[in-house]
Chains A and B, each alone.
Chain A
């Protein structure tokens, strides 16, 4: 029995998904729902190894993929699953679709990826924040010009120029997201609209699909 609900947000860097999930978190807390937030690549145990590996650029596409799967597995077992079993809502900033997109771009077999992550249940709602590639690139390249090696897909050797590599990499990642939208029934949000309008839409969809009253925590707060 898994009485909880799982909501994930996915999209390109710069799509605004973290802002949106943060606002959802605030909203659900305001409604006194039992709600927890978890983000990609944050398990304490694996984080040290991942950081070291990325700094020293020790990762191949395969070990990059495996180390992130180890991270999710740890969080899944010790955080996500217990919360779901306890009958609460889990909000995931990036979930299995991030590695499905990125690792496939890095050359991993999509079927292999899906099997490896087979332990992770498909979210009740996956919001995909869609926006034109140029807009996403513009937001990132404008606000945070210091790109990281793996984030820019430099390991793929697409271009010796980090900004150009980032552009090409993001384009390919976007392509994978678009293909997955149907496969995994993403709820697509137009991420070019004003933040509050997107949030309104997101909240409406959550309220439609999840009986929020069932998650009210009376007396706990």
Chain B
């Protein structure tokens, strides 16, 4: 067991004293293979005897539905969306992540504050404002950021949905009226932002252009090391 800490201080009334579990975060764009790998990792960890909890964005009981409809309506400003997403994040953080860690679970987070930050910064939010907003989040035991070339990403997106997603193409930014061009330009900006965040928040990258098997083996190796280091047997 390692002592956990938040980036600045814990949320009011939250005691970090007895968090026994592990918080492992996978970041990356849609169709980068995040959920596939999280599913495989969950299976693998459970086979090893670890209880696993999976969390993600927009899944809070508090505002998950409202956030979804706000997204569809596309009427909230970027800053309001930032705050709405932060509400969603912290609701799950306090009500799911923290209790699961307290019970000794391995929590696999399908994206964390970094996706939220990158998306907001690309839309004009000040990095310092976001640092402060998310300063009560827990520092994860490991963060793996999936890096995929734009080309691969487009191919996978079209293969899996046959349709481009409005937000993942950054259409709200007005970079281009052409969805393909906008997607490429938007994902490039996100990647640049992720690299900057990587330096600041110290996370690992995963080359996600490879096969599922290769990526999974790579991840297992890295996570095994974290488990061995932190969980007492």
Query: Which A residues have a C-beta under 8 Å from some C-beta of B?
Result: 45-46, 48-49, 53, 58-63, 66-67, 69-70, 73-74, 77-78, 106-109, 112, 115-116, 118-119
Contacts and interface: CB of A to CB of B under 8 A. Distances in A.
Provide the main secondary structure of the chain B interface: helix
11 contacts: A45-B76, A49-B66, A60-B11, A60-B90, A63-B90, A66-B90, A69-B83, A73-B80, A74-B77, A115-B129, A115-B132
B69 to A, nearest CB: 9
B66 A48 contact: yes
Given A62-B94, A115-B129, A118-B129, A109 B76 contact: no
B77 A77 contact: yes
Contacts of A69: 83
B79 A119 contact: yes
Interface in B3-25: 8-9, 11-13
B61 interface: yes
B133 interface: yes
B75 interface: yes
A61 B79 CA distance: 21
B132 A58 contact: no
Contacts of B95: 60
Contacts of A74: 76-77, 80
Nearest to B94: A60
Interface in B79-120: 79-80, 83-84, 86-87, 90-91, 94-95
A112 B79 contact: no
B129 A63 contact: no
A67 B63 contact: yes
B137 to A, nearest CB: 11
B62 A58 contact: yes
Contact of A45 (B61, B66, B132): B66
A60 B13 contact: yes
Contact of A112 (B13, B128, B132): B132
A46 B132 CA distance: 22
B166 to A, nearest CB: 18
